[in-house]
Each structure stands twice: as structure tokens, then as C-alpha cells.
Structure 1
Amino acid sequence: MTKVAEVVEQKSDAPLHGVQSGRVEKRYSESHDGQAKVRIKKAKYAMLLAYQGKNYFGMQIQKGHPTIEGQLISAMHKLGWISEQMKEQPSLFHFQRAARTDRAVSAVRQICGMELPQRDDYAVIGVNELNALLPEDIRVISMRRATNLFHPQKKCCARTYSYTLPTFAFAKPTELTNASFRIKKDTIDEINHLLSIYKGTHNFFNYTSKREFDDRSCFRYILSFECGEPFLFHDDVRNEDVEFIQLTVKGQSFILHQIRKMVGMVIAVVRELQYKSYIQRTFESDRVDVPKAPGLGLLLERVHYDVYDRKHEKTHEPLTDWGPEVEARVEEVKFELITKEILISELRHQSMLQWLADLVRHDFCTDPDAEEVPKRTFLTMAAGKADEAAKAAEVVKEVKEGNVPSSEDGVEQEPQECGATVDVSSCTDTIKKEIQEDNATVQSGQTTEDAKSMNATS
């Protein structure tokens, strides 16, 4: 047999080499150097994560902005856990998160799911390797094996958030809004009563943006909403104790800005800037502008997997409660990394105090999604100017009695009874011009009516 015939015979027999006892065997692919490629065995893992969100544009990756996922995936790539292609396209290793926290929002028990090369030491060695590459404001607490079909968002049955704020946010109009404020038990009871209104299923389209009343995704179910006990935190700069309090809400899921707007609405009612009945009105079809509290105090406390844990309790470790050792580590990281930073940042930057200063001028009737915000009414702009309104009322009263005050009193000498002008000398520059225009409009209208009356008489 010639060499050519032998080669042809070998090639014709080649497909049969993979058949033994009627079964086709898989071949190992060979690399360029002639060695067979080893198939890496992979498994699904759940990661318990804590982070301080003030330096990041939320959890989810955004090109051109620092995010929690961006830092985490970059660290896994440096460790060789994922390829360059997986880094650019996280869906290739089935990366998911339980909750997409917004900009500046922190989390203490965020859960991420991913498919990684199978190892038995991720919970200790893997966690230490990641934390060595991550910034100090992002900490991986632990990792556990999960089922192959585990999805951290879809398998989650509820989420718990907390909102920490200084108690002076709930000061009454007759009380001073400052560091010396101490909340009363009656006020805490009132807060809990208002928070209970949100329990159950409601249409929260007024508590988010760019959604309509008939959008079914705006219906959310709140399981609990409670106010905790107040506590003191020392301000080292001003050398004084400031009282804080924490609101805790548990729900099946939340939409964008929902929690911050619920907190903002309750603050407005407690401070008597809005009626309690207005909360129920926000669930109705009319569009209203619900005030949104600052994002600093918002914290994702826990994601719940009660159904998943019960279903897989014999084969996998639970993902709701990670055990006393891990929970102790969580509480330690929570205070040092997140809670302490929230309190210090609030005392340093006074974000709540600044927000309260603007709250008195908030127009609840404005459509927040309108392209052109309608001009605020005179009554809305004067809401934060109670002193000026009181002075104007006194002037009207004295005019009726014939006692016209002098110009040294800081008000106009001859106010009109039906359209009394308001002194704008002490008003802020932002609304001074609009108040002057409103006063001019009132006076112009009265002049026209007077002219018509004179013509009719003649």
C-alpha cells in the first residue's frame, strides 16, 4: 500500500475513533501548543456586600462615572476570576444585584449573584483577596454557594431600608429647629401614626418621576414602616450632642425616590406645612409634588429570601440570615463605614437643615414632571415669611382704626384694605422681584376698578 493510500485510510477511519460501545465521546480541543484545553468547572455564588455610597453614582455600572459594581468587577478581573470580555459584559458570568441603589445611597447587606470558577475558600480567602483591592468604602462581608438558578433580584421577597435623620426635622412651628432640640414621645407617636398610613398596597406614582397614574408598576406593597428610639451623637466640631432618630421601612419592592418622598411627606405634615389627609390624596390620580428628603440618611439594611431559604434549606445555606459570626461583622462594618459617616456628614454639611429651609416654600400643587414649572403663587412664596405677613395684618388693622404707623415701622404707610402691599425689605432676593410684581398687579387692578367706578358715577 502506498503512503497516499495509508493517509486516506487513516482519515476515513478517524470519525470512528470517537465511538466506543455505541457512544460518541467528546474530544478535548487542542490549543496552539498542542495541549488539550482544560474546562474550568463553575458554580453560582451569592456575595454579601456593604458600602458607603456617597462617593458613587449608585450601584449599577455607568460609563464615565464611579459605581459600586465598577469597582467590584474590576477587582474580580485583577484576581483572574473573570476574563476581560466578562469585565466589559458582566452578563457573561451572570452578574446580578438584589437592589439598584441610587446615587449617594449606602447598603449594609446588599446581595450580588455571579458565576465563578468553583472554589471552597471564597468565604474567607476570596473575601480577603477582594477587600485588598477594593476601596475602603466598599467591603465584601462573605460569599456562599447558591443554586444554579439563583437570581438575587427575582428571588428576593422583600427589602428593608432605614433612614437616619436629626430629630429637629420633626420640630413643630413653635419649637426651635437646632441641635438642642429633643423630640417628645407624643411626636414619635404622631410619626408612627403617619407612617402607618403607607402600610398596605398603594399607587405611588406621585412618589417617583415620569410615570402615570394608570401605570401598574407604581403599585407597591409596604409591610411595615416604623420610627425607632432617638439617640445622641456628639458633634466634636461644635462640642454638643445632637439627637438623631431612625425610620425603618420593609416592603416587597420600591420605585425610584419612593422612600425619600415618603419621609419628606411625613416631615412636612409633622411640621404642619401640610394636612395629614394630604397623604391619602397623594395616592389618588391628581398629580402633586411630594417633597423629596435628602439621600444621605438612606440605607439598604437587608434583602429577604424567606421563600428561597425554606425551599433549599437542606441543600444550601440561608441568604437572609448569614449566622451570628457574619452578622456581628456586618454590624461592625455598618457603624464604622456607614452609620458613623452619615452622622458626621450630616453634622458637617447640614444637608437636612438646608432642605428644611427650602421646604417652607415647597409648592405641593406643582407638577414635578412639567417642562415649564408654573409660576408660584403669592401665597406659596409667602409661606416662609410668616413675620412679614403678621406685620401686614397689623398694618391693615391699624388703618381701619385710623392709626396709620410711621414709615419707621418698616411697612408701607397706606396699605389697601383689599390688596395690602407687603414690605419686601427683609425678603430674600430670589422672591423679592416676584412679590413686587404681584403687588404691582394688585394695585394696577384696583386703579382700573376705581376708574370704571368714577366713569359710571359721572
Structure 2
Amino acid sequence: MDSAVQNPSPGENSSKQDPSTSQATVADQAGEQKMDSSAAGRGGRNKQKDMGRKAYRNKHIDRRAANDRQEAKRRKIEQGENPMPIYATQFSQEDIDADVRRPKKKVIVMLGYSGTGYHGMQLCPTEKTIEGDLFAAFVAANAISKANAVDPKKSSFVRCARTDKGVHAAGNVVSLKLIIEDPDIVQKINEKLNPQIRVWGIIPATKGFSAYQFCDSRMYEYLIPSHCFLPPHPSTFLAQKMVEMAEKHGDMEAFRERQAEVESYWEETDKKHIQPIIDALPEKIKPYVQAAVGSVGGEEEKATPANNETEAGEACEERTESDTKKSDLTPDEQAQVNVAIKDIRTAYFKAKNEYRIPPERLARINAALALYVGTKNFHNYTIQKTFRDPSARRLIKSFKISRDPVVINGTEWLSLKVHGQSFMMHQIRKMVAMVALLVRCGADIKRIEESYQNSRIPIPKAPGLGLLLERPIFDGYNKKAKDLGRELLDFDKYEKEMDEFKLKEIYQRIFTEEAEKHAFGTFFNHIDSYKENTFLYVTSGGLAACSSSTTQPTAAQEEDARKAESKVLAEVESESEAELVDNGEDGG
């Protein structure tokens, strides 16, 4: 940590300074102004010439009136007229009056967290969030005064990147005003935090620093099991349509070439893992179990809002039991059918976990990810944005598989890393889902380039479980800081602690949660078994197969299409939009 944070100079709190100190202070302030007015990240605006209404109003604020309004607000909270936010710490007026006033400094707080069990990063008055716990820890560690313990705005709280429910971050940044006289302030804050949240360090910031505006770009990691790139089970609706469309459009040879390394996977799996279970059954119940194999292989006969594969399996059992009750099976025979279906489901899980992705498949994934690089119109990869919306254009600097696959608890995982200037709501998860769907279905990966055009494509978002904010990047700010001899905003010095934290609090949670809930398997099985044309754009039929219009739609048509798309995607995705916090991966 910077020495200025650990042991602030007594001269900073003194009204009298010697001439040399005064000159240094003037020089430092000049440097701050130079950094703040520079075009670091998306900030650096000339505040006098480009002052918004809010900034103008704040500059000309009536302090006495503001204090009166704040006091009235405090009384309302005390009297129960205004519900207290769950992150707020309320103190009596006597405690506030007795609190010794200490100087605050604008600082940069570098932190990491596991999003499991949290309703996202952003403060929410009624939900448990990362920022809520962080703010409460600042208050508990006396880094925020009792007078400011209810309202984070009083501390000028600004985040760099906003993350959704359940999404993790190895590195993120917030900027705010803190009391940092205590040299052990980082340790004391961490002592007040859940082990899922860690503060890596606190460094002084220039007065005009904004964690959001000064961020140049962000690096995200997405972890996904390699079995997600297996083709749909041949018995599912999507698998049958893949073959049908390839034949219809004269693409069968190219389709088989794209699926060559997995062409015999399901045939071999059924022969090795499933057929022995069926062969061991009494002849009378074999037909009933064989009839259910397709739905078990694809997990469901049609998409349901099941929360995990266990529920999907139970739904399958209920359907099978309902069918067999109409037959001449005895209760014991019906029970045997249900046990056999459970055994088959377990066998499919085992087979998927044993899958090891071949190099040809990895190369195809990388080729697809590379098609995102550059400035593109990602209107199909978020919500509530149209083709005409200029804010849908985003710059992706790189997107690739970051390292060799790793095997954890018997399952092989891939690490996909994307470096972009900024991201919209669900953008990364939809980008990952699109690549996975195209590769597993043997489609032409150039479909990604078509997605930048004006056609509306219903792209589902992959589970949030695997998404991790690796770190934000502040190259512009750091260049100016280096020139002025100030401490850099750099996560590299905390690399060891961050790697240990990622392994224990993030990666292990991801691996464990997937082993328990099978979020990825459920997600793709819902799509494979969805008996509509909605997702047939991942077949040889292309966009025309799912009735996507290639003509320029009107604004009303775009809105109708968006509503219809949301309804369809809600049937196959693991969480509803209502469960997510405001805007996206980083709110950009």
C-alpha cells in the first residue's frame, strides 16, 4: 500500500505549512488537475465548459437548505416513515455529535469478490449486494463517519464495473472519500467483511478521479465445461432439425465435416453406458425404458422452468410414470422403470463428465470467438437495444480460449477470456452462448457476422455461474500517474493473493455449484428440447429457419419482436430479468 495511505503526513492535517511543503502541495495539485483534465478512459472532461445540470446545481447549492433536508430525512428514518436501506448503519444523534471529525481523502479501493449469494454488485436498499456489505464494512472500520453511515452518496461512492447476480470479480474498483489515517485500515475493513469479499489495497486518488469514467477497458473470464460443446442428443428436437436442415439446404457434406470429431459420440455413449442398463431389465419393461431414453438423453421432452437437472429428471419420471399407468405394468414394474431412468440419467452425466474436447473443436471455438473482435453492432447480444441504437456498438479487443483445458472433479473446463472497452447487459453471456450453440450444432460460424445486421435474433444468455470480472484496466490514468510520480492503479502487486482467492472463493464455488445444480447441462438441454423454430438459426437453415426478417423493421415491429423474444428466452434461461440488477456486466 502507498505510504501516504499507511501513514499520512501530519502536514496534510495542519493549517500551517513551511514554504517547501507549500510549493510541493501546489505542484501536486497542478499534477492532479493535469490528470483529471486529461482524456483518461472516458473521463477527463473540462468541467467548466461541459458542466451538466446536476454538476451546476451542486456547485451553486444552498448548504443550509441541504443540511435541513438531510436532517428531515434522518428524522423520517428514525420515526419509521422511510425504510432504512439494509446496508445502512444508523447511529443516534448523540453518537453522531460525539464522533470526532477526521479528514476524508479521495481514494481508489481495489477489491475482489465471489458473487454467490449476492444480488449483484450495485447497492440496493432491499437486497444483499457486494457494495452493501462493503459500505457497511467501511462504516464498521471507521473509514466512514457515523454522520455519513446511511447514505453512500455522501462519500462520493462510484464503481468501475457493475456485475449481475451471482457474477464474480477477481478485481474491481470503487472510488470514494474515506478516512484513511489508520495504517491498518485495509486489514480492519477485511475483518468486517464476509470472506467472499476482499479489499486488496487502497491508494490515494486525484480529486477528479472516477472509477467508472477513467476505466479504459475490462477483462472478463468465462468458465464453461467442455461437454457444453457436444452436439445435442440425436433424439432431441434440435438434433433432428439439424439433420433435416442440412439435407434441405444441400449442406450435409459441410455439416458432417464440421461435426466430424463428435459424429459418433452419442452412438458410442449409448452403446457403452446406456445399452447395458437396458439389457439387464426384464423384457416386459424394456420398451418403456427405451421410449424414455431420448427424453433422458436430452433431459426433457420440452422446455420447463425447472431449476436444475434433478427437477428436469423428476419431471421426466412423472411423465413416464403417467404413461406406464395406462399400461398393464404393476406398481413394482413401474418402480423398476423409474429406477432404470435414474440410472440412465446418472450414466449420461458420467459420460458427459468424461468427455475431453479434441483440438479440432478447440480451434473451431477460437475461430468463432475471433469473429467478435473489433467494433461491432452487438444489439442482438443485450436487451432493450435496437439495430439503430448507436450505444450498441462496442469494441472487443480480444476473445479467445486463454489456456489449455483443466479437469476439476472429473469435469473438463475451458477458460474463455474477453477484453473489451465496455460491455452491455448480458453481452458476454450471450456471446458465449452463441458460440457454443453454433459449434455444438455444426453450424457455419459466420452466422456471428450476420448477427451484427438488422435482423432480430433471440440469443439466450449462458448461465451467470461461469462469469468472472478478471480486472478493469486503467492504462490512460496510469500513464499520467507515472509521469507525475503517483502510485499506479495496478493489480499485479496483489497477484498472489488474488490467485489464492480466485481458487478458493470463486473457482471452487463455480465447480461445486455446477456439480450440484448442473446449470450448464440444464441450459443447453432446454434449448435442445424446445419444440419451436426459435433457435433454428444455429442450423444450416440460417436466420430464415427461425423466421427472422431480413428487412428493415419499424420501431413498433422491433418492440413487438423484443417482447416476443423475451417471453421465449424466459422459458430456457436459468433466471428471469427481474432477478438482475439494473444494467449488465459493467453498466456500460
TM-score scaled by structure 2? 0.54
State the Cα distance separating 1:142 from its structure 2 match.
Answer: 1.5
In structure 2, what is the equivalent of residue 113 of structure 1? 175
**In structure 2, what residue type is equivalent to 1:63?**
P
State the Cα distance separating 1:78 from its structure 2 match.
Answer: 1.9
Q: Does 1:181 align with 2:316?
A: no
**In structure 1, what residue type is equivalent to 2:152?**
P
Matched position secondary structure for 1:114: strand
Matches within 5 A, 1:51-450: 51-84=113-146, 86-119=148-181, 121=183, 125-172=184-231, 174=263, 175-176=265-266, 178-235=352-409, 241-272=410-441, 274-313=443-482, 314-323=484-493, 326-361=494-529, 363-364=534-535, 365=546, 369-370=562-563
Q: Which of the two has greater strand per residue?
A: 1
In structure 1, what is the equivalent of residue 255 of structure 2? none
Q: Which of the two has greater helix per residue?
A: 2
Conserved? CA contact 2:401–2:414, under 8 Å: yes
Matched position secondary structure for 1:211: coil
State the Cα distance separating 1:87 from its structure 2 match.
Answer: 3.4
C-alpha distance in structure 1 between counterparts of 2:143 and 2:384, whole Å:
39
State the Cα distance separating 1:144 from its structure 2 match.
Answer: 1.2
State the Cα distance separating 1:275 from its structure 2 match.
Answer: 3.5
Matched position secondary structure for 1:356: helix
State the Cα distance separating 1:210 from its structure 2 match.
Answer: 1.1
Structure 1: which 5+ runs fail to align?
1-31, 236-240, 382-458
C-alpha distance in structure 2 between counterparts of 1:372 and 1:159, whole Å:
29
In structure 1, what is the equivalent of residue 108 of structure 2? 46
C-alpha distance in structure 2 between counterparts of 1:215 and 1:189, whole Å:
33
State the Cα distance separating 1:234 from its structure 2 match.
Answer: 4.1
State the Cα distance separating 1:223 from its structure 2 match.
Answer: 0.1
Matched position secondary structure for 1:128: helix
C-alpha distance in structure 1 between counterparts of 2:418 and 2:429, whole Å:
11
Conserved? CA contact 1:230–1:244, under 8 Å: no
C-alpha distance in structure 2 between counterparts of 1:373 and 1:290, whole Å:
10
Conserved? CA contact 2:408–2:511, under 8 Å: no
Conserved? CA contact 1:306–1:320, under 8 Å: no
C-alpha distance in structure 1 between counterparts of 2:411 and 2:382, whole Å:
31
Moved more, 258-267 or 162-171: 162-171
State the Cα distance separating 1:340 from its structure 2 match.
Answer: 1.6
C-alpha distance in structure 2 between counterparts of 1:371 and 1:87, whole Å:
44
Matched pairs, number:
334
State the Cα distance separating 1:81 from its structure 2 match.
Answer: 2.1
**In structure 1, what residue type is equivalent to 2:403?**
E
Task: Between the two structures, name the one with larger relative contact order (CA 8 Å, sep ≥ 6).
Answer: 2
Matched position secondary structure for 1:296: helix
Q: Which has the larger radius of gyration?
A: 1
* CA deviation profile, 1:174-213 (whole Å, cap 9, x unmatched): 3357011001111111111000100000111111111121
Q: 1:138 to 1:296 in 2, by over 3 A?
A: same
**In structure 1, what residue type is equivalent to 2:457?**
V
C-alpha distance in structure 2 between counterparts of 1:286 and 1:87, whole Å:
49
Matched position secondary structure for 1:299: strand
Moved more, 366-375 or 329-338: 366-375
Moved more, 329-338 or 226-235: 226-235
Moved more, 207-216 or 252-261: 207-216
Conserved? CA contact 2:142–2:179, under 8 Å: no
Conserved? CA contact 1:273–1:360, under 8 Å: no
Q: 1:368 to 1:138 in 2, by over 3 A?
A: farther
TM-score scaled by structure 1? 0.68
* CA deviation profile, 1:63-102 (whole Å, cap 9, x unmatched): 2110000001111112222235533321211111110001
C-alpha distance in structure 2 between counterparts of 1:329 and 1:215, whole Å:
41
State the Cα distance separating 1:273 from its structure 2 match.
Answer: 6.1
In structure 2, what is the equivalent of residue 8 of structure 1? none
% of aligned pairs identical? Answer: 34
C-alpha distance in structure 2 between counterparts of 1:328 and 1:343, whole Å:
21
Matched position secondary structure for 1:262: helix
Matched position secondary structure for 2:352: coil
Conserved? CA contact 1:47–1:112, under 8 Å: yes
Matched position secondary structure for 1:156: coil
**In structure 2, what residue type is equivalent to 1:276?**
I
C-alpha distance in structure 2 between counterparts of 1:227 and 1:166, whole Å:
12
Conserved? CA contact 2:107–2:205, under 8 Å: yes
Q: 1:165 to 1:66 in 2, by over 3 A?
A: same
Q: 1:259 to 1:171 in 2, by over 3 A?
A: same
Conserved? CA contact 1:59–1:101, under 8 Å: yes
**In structure 2, what residue type is equivalent to 1:83?**
S
Conserved? CA contact 2:111–2:198, under 8 Å: yes
Q: 1:88 to 1:373 in 2, by over 3 A?
A: closer
State the Cα distance separating 1:166 from its structure 2 match.
Answer: 0.7
Moved more, 212-221 or 313-322: 313-322
State the Cα distance separating 1:172 from its structure 2 match.
Answer: 3.6
* CA deviation profile, 1:390-434 (whole Å, cap 9, x unmatched): xxxxxxxxxxxxxxxxxxxxxxxxxxxxxxxxxxxxxxxxxxxxx
C-alpha distance in structure 2 between counterparts of 1:371 and 1:290, whole Å:
13
C-alpha distance in structure 1 between counterparts of 2:401 and 2:389, whole Å:
30
C-alpha distance in structure 2 between counterparts of 1:98 and 1:115, whole Å:
15
C-alpha distance in structure 2 between counterparts of 1:74 and 1:184, whole Å:
48
Matched position secondary structure for 1:54: coil
**In structure 1, what residue type is equivalent to 2:471?**
R
C-alpha distance in structure 2 between counterparts of 1:245 and 1:197, whole Å:
18
C-alpha distance in structure 2 between counterparts of 1:74 and 1:278, whole Å:
47
**In structure 2, what residue type is equivalent to 1:130?**
I
Moved more, 254-263 or 143-152: 143-152
* CA deviation profile, 1:210-230 (whole Å, cap 9, x unmatched): 112111111100000001334
C-alpha distance in structure 2 between counterparts of 1:226 and 1:182, whole Å:
19
**In structure 2, what residue type is equivalent to 1:151?**
S
* CA deviation profile, 1:29-57 (whole Å, cap 9, x unmatched): xxx9xx9x986332111111111102111
C-alpha distance in structure 1 between counterparts of 2:204 and 2:567, whole Å:
55
Conserved? CA contact 1:57–1:103, under 8 Å: yes
